[in-house]
Amino acid sequence: MHTAALIVAAGRGTRAGGPEPKQWRRIGGKTVARWTVERFAGFAPLVLVIHPDDAGTATREMAGLPVQIVHGGADRAASVKAGLAALAEARPERVLIHDVARPCIEAGTIAAVLAALGNHPGAAPALPVTDALWTGADGIVTGTRDRAGLYRAQTPQGFHFNAIVAAHAAHPGGAADDVEVARAAGLAVAIVPGSEQNLKITGPDDFARAARILERQMDIRLGNGFDVHRFGAGDHVVLCGVRVPHGRGLQGHSDADVGMHAVTDAIYGALAEGDIGRHFPPSDMQWKGADSAIFLRHAVDLAADKGYAISNVDCTLICEQPKIGPHAAAMMARMAEIMGLRADQISVKATTSERLGFTGREEGIAALATATLVRA
C-alpha cells in the first residue's frame, strides 16, 4: 500500500532552551530535524511542516533529502492539516504523522505501525505506564492514581489517509495529538509496542540522552585495500599522489600509484562496491597511464552519493626503497586535497618486510590501507 510520511516541525520548542528551536539544534553534527527526516526518507511523498520563519534554515538543512517543505499553522492541528493538504495530490492510502522531536525512532516501531494499519484505520506506538502515579500541589503529594490501562503515547501515528483527513476536517481543534482527533471521529486506533529509545526531546537534558542513542545507532563501515606493483624501467615512482625520484618505476595499467590504489579499494570495500577493476577495467584503454586521483575521487564521490563521509584513511607502504619518510607529509597533503579531507584525517607510513619476499628483494612495492566511513 502507498504510504506517505508527514513530519511536524513548526513548533518553537522553548522548553528545550537554547537560542534556536530544538529541531534546528545539532546532535552529532546533524540537526534534530535532519536525523528525524532521514528516518523516513524511504517514504514518498515525504512532507516536513515548518514554521515560516525557518524557511531558509529548513532549505539548507534538508539539502539532498527527498522532502517537500510546507509552512505550518498556529498550532499542531493546523500544521498537520497543512501537511495533509500537501499530500492530497499524491493520494496516498496511508500516512505516518511523526513529531520532529523524536529523532531516535527505530525502523521496527515504524514497521509495527504499518502492520497494524492492515487491520485498523489507525495505529500508534505507546508504552504502558509502570511507575506509580501521584497528584500533587505546592510540592506535596496529594493523592495517587491507578496506572492500570494508562499508556505513554509516541509517534509515528499512522492512519488511513482519507479517514484522518476527514477526522481533522471535522475536529474543532485543541487536540493533544492525531490519535485524539481520530478517536473523536470514531476511528479505532490500535496500540503497538513503543520504545524507550523513541524519546521526545523536550528539555535540555534530552539532547544528551538522544545523542547517546544516536551514537549507538550510527552506521560506521570499515574497508581494507591491498595492492602490489612490480618495478620496471623508469626514474621515479608515484606514491599517494607524489612523484618520488627512484632508479626504477612501477609498472601498471594506470600510473601504478600503489598507495592510492589501496586507499581507493578500501573505500570501495567499505561500500561493498568491489574494487578499482570493477569501476575502471584494465581492458579499457582510456585508463592506460591515467592519474590514479581519478579513481580515488570516484570512490570518494560514490561514498558521498551513498550518504557516507570518510572519517579517516590509513595507508602503509611496504618497500625497502625508496625511503617514504621524507615524502610522507606531502603524500598526506595530496591525498587530503584529492579527497576533500583534512591532512590529519590521512595517515601514510611505511615499513619494510625485513628483506623477505618480493618487497624484500626490491622487486616491487605493496600497500595496505584501511578506510573508515560514517553515515553522514
**Average of per-residue pLDDT across 41-54:** 95
Domain end (from 149, 183, 217): 217
Domain end (from 166, 184, 217): 217
pLDDT in tens, 281-314: 988 899 998 999 999 999 999 998 888 889 999 9
- At 1 the pLDDT is 66
Looking at the fold, whether 238 and 309 belong to one and the same domain comes out as: yes
Domain end (from 184, 217, 250): 217
Q: Which residues contact 66 (CB under 8 A, 6 or more apart)?
A: 41, 44, 46
Written as one string, the DSSP assignment of 143-170 is EEE--TT-EEE-S-EEEEHHHHHHHHHH
pLDDT grade, residue 17 (50/70/90)? low
Looking at the fold, whether 43 and 171 belong to one and the same domain comes out as: yes
- Domain residues for 179? 3-217
- At 177 the pLDDT is 96
Angle (CA) 46-50-51 rounded to 5° is: 170
Percent with pLDDT over 90 in the chain: 86
- At 14 the pLDDT is 67
- At 332 the pLDDT is 96
Q: Which residues contact 17 (CB under 8 A, 6 or more apart)?
A: 203, 204
**Average of per-residue pLDDT across 165-177:** 95
Looking at the fold, whether 170 and 245 belong to one and the same domain comes out as: no
Looking at the fold, whether 133 and 241 belong to one and the same domain comes out as: no
Pairing of β 220-232 and β 249-250: antiparallel
Looking at the fold, whether 175 and 102 belong to one and the same domain comes out as: yes
pLDDT at 217 over 80: no
Looking at the fold, whether 281 and 151 belong to one and the same domain comes out as: no
Q: For CA atoms 94, 100, 103, 105, give the dihedral sign.
A: negative
**Average of per-residue pLDDT across 97-126:** 96
pLDDT at 18 over 90: no
Instruction: Provide the greatest CA pair distance for the chain.
Output: 91
pLDDT at 218 over 80: no
- At 357 the pLDDT is 96
Looking at the fold, whether 181 and 251 belong to one and the same domain comes out as: no
Looking at the fold, whether 98 and 236 belong to one and the same domain comes out as: no
**Average of per-residue pLDDT across 21-46:** 92
Give the CA-trace dihedral at 22, 27, 29, 31, to 10 degrees: -30
Residue 313, classed as helix, strand or coil, is strand
- At 276 the pLDDT is 95
- Report the range of poorest mean pLDDT among 18-22, 87-91, 269-273: 18-22
| Average predicted confidence (pLDDT) for the chain | 94
pLDDT at 376 over 70: no
Looking at the fold, whether 340 and 197 belong to one and the same domain comes out as: no
Q: Which residues contact 19 (CB under 8 A, 6 or more apart)?
A: none
CATH code, 370: 3.30.1330.50
Stretch (H or E) spanning 208? helix 205-217
Alpha helices in 244-356 (DSSP H): 258-270, 276-279, 293-305, 328-339
Tally of residues, the chain: 376
Q: Strands, E, within 33-121: which ranges?
A: 46-50, 68-71, 94-99
How many Å from the N-terminal Cα to the C-terminal Cα in the chain? Answer: 30
Q: For CA atoms 320, 323, 325, 330, give the dihedral sign.
A: negative
Q: Using CA atoms, how far apart are residues 143 and 132, in angstroms rounded to an integer? A: 11
Q: Using CA atoms, how far apart are residues 350 and 319, in angstroms rounded to an integer? A: 7
pLDDT grade, residue 16 (50/70/90)? low
pLDDT at 375 over 80: no
- At 343 the pLDDT is 86
- At 366 the pLDDT is 98
Looking at the fold, whether 265 and 296 belong to one and the same domain comes out as: yes
Looking at the fold, whether 141 and 281 belong to one and the same domain comes out as: no
Domain count, the chain: 2
Residue that has been written with the C-alpha cell 526531546 in this structure: 201
Looking at the fold, whether 232 and 103 belong to one and the same domain comes out as: no
- At 292 the pLDDT is 95
- At 29 the pLDDT is 80
CATH code, 87: 3.90.550.10
